């Protein structure tokens, strides 16, 4: 049977999480895939006190890698590099996987042709204020050129074939977001594709109160805009780079294109999560407006936000 390495980053641990790292590890321990075929790699960025002891309560043989202060993508890169399994699964510490998570990714990738680099699952937010609408906006399914392929990567519920991903990495890993889009772009240009599986599910922690959730939402929007611009300033072959690099004059147009894509995504995903489009629409407009301002901040070379 296929061996699997699960890479768990810990930069996504927050005080407001309603799914803690303990919940994450407990869900991972309940997997119905043979335990002896699963390697657990946890990257310690310093956020969780006595992390090794916490992890080894559930996984005594887990590999702990030190990455003090490392960002989410720096930690994922380290874990992917250390992985020995035939499949490398990425998981965030504020998420909880259903019992068939590993088995589902294995069943998707085992029979897949060689040009398939990995499989992307579907992430939903845990219940809270406007969580269905925010879930459709931030984590909604987006198909690629082929209907069964992923048109975006959500890296808390994603698995790769190790023999493919060892030749790639998350570039600019200090960036808080947007580098997942760059990785998909690199894979596509190299002739690979990533399958989209609706059966591969994940629940992501969500700040359940408006007091915490509203700042969380707008910080994410600001960061997406900021790092969309920064990646396109550095990577001229990334779609939309020409618009950003032309003194930023094309940035409003790029934001308009993203708004249309995000609205289409919300419309397509609304029934899967029970989202109300009429409620999601003003959320999307607020998100894109904040995203636009975040991009302006990058063009003005203001300090980068930290998101995890």
How many separate domains does the chain show? 1
Q: Listing from the earlier edge strand, what are the strands of the sheet with 193-204?
A: 63-66, 38-44, 4-9, 87-92, 157-161, 116-125, 193-204, 95-96
pLDDT, tens digit, for every residue of 43-56?
999 999 999 999 99
DSSP conformation class of 65 = E
**What proportions of the chain, in percent to the nearest 5, are helix, strand and coil?**
45, 20, 35
Question: Could you tell me if 13 and 21 are in contact, meaning their C-beta atoms sit under 8 angstroms apart?
Answer: yes
* 118 located within any domain: no
Contacts of 170 (CB under 8 A, 6+ apart): 73, 76, 77, 179, 180, 182, 183
Q: pLDDT at position 142, please?
A: 78
C-alpha 238: how far from its chain's center? 19
Whole-angstrom distance, CA of residue 285 vs CA of residue 12: 26
Instruction: Tell whether 269 is covered by a domain.
Output: yes
| 46 within a domain of the structure (yes/no) | no
Its domain, for residue 223, covers 210-299
Q: Kindly state whether residue 246 falls inside one of the protein's structural domains.
A: yes
Residue 290: CA atoms inside 13 Å, Cβ hemisphere, count?
Answer: 18
pLDDT one digit per residue (tens) for the chain, 308 residues: 999 999 999 999 999 999 999 999 999 999 999 999 999 999 999 999 999 999 999 999 999 999 999 999 999 999 999 999 999 999 999 999 999 999 999 999 999 999 999 999 999 999 988 999 999 999 987 776 666 899 999 999 999 999 999 999 999 999 999 999 999 999 999 999 999 999 999 999 998 778 888 999 999 999 999 999 999 999 998 988 988 887 778 999 999 999 999 999 999 889 888 999 999 999 999 999 999 999 999 999 999 998 98
Domain contains 107: no
Model's pTM, two decimal places? 0.94
Q: Which residues of 100-137 are buried (b: 16+ CB within 10 A; e: fewer)?
A: bbbbbbbbbbeeeeeebbbbbbbbbbbebbbbbbbbbb
- 273 belongs to a structural domain: yes
Residue 51 and residue 44 in contact, taking contact as beta carbons nearer than 8 Å: yes
The answer to whether residue 289 sits within a structural domain is: yes
Do 72 and 9 form a contact (C-beta atoms < 8 A)? yes
> Does the residue 228 lie in any domain?
yes
């Amino acid at each position: 049977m296929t061996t699997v390495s699960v890479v768990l980053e810990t930069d996504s641990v927050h005080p407001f999480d309603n799914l803690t790292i303990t919940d994450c590890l407990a869900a991972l321990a309940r997997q119905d895939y043979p335990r002896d075929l699963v390697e657990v790699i946890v990257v310690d960025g310093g956020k969780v006190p006595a992390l090794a002891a916490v992890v080894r309560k559930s996984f005594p043989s887990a590999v702990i890698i030190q990455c003090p202060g490392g960002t989410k993508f720096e930690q994922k890169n380290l874990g992917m590099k250390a992985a020995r399994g035939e499949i490398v699964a990425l998981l965030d510490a504020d998420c909880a996987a259903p019992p068939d998570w590993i088995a589902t990714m294995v069943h998707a990738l085992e029979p897949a042709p060689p040009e398939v680099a990995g499989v992307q699952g579907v992430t939903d937010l845990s219940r809270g204020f406007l969580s269905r609408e925010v879930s459709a906006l931030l984590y909604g399914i987006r198909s690629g050129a082929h209907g069964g392929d992923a048109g975006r990567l959500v890296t808390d519920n994603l698995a790769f074939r190790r023999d493919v991903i060892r030749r790639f990495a998350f570039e600019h890993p200090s960036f808080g977001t947007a580098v997942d889009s760059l990785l998909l772009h690199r894979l596509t240009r190299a002739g690979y594709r990533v399958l989209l599986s609706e059966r591969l599910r994940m629940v992501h922690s969500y700040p359940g109160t408006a007091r915490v959730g509203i700042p969380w939402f707008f910080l994410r929007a600001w960061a997406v805009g900021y790092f969309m611009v920064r990646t396109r300033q550095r990577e001229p072959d990334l779609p939309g780079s020409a618009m950003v690099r032309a003194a930023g004059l094309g940035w409003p147009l790029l934001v308009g294109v993203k708004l249309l894509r995000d609205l289409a995504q919300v419309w397509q995903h609304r029934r899967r999560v029970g989202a109300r489009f009429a409620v999601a629409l003003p959320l999307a407009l607020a998100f894109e407006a904040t995203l636009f301002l975040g991009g302006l901040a990058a063009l003005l070379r203001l300090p980068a936000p930290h998101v995890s």
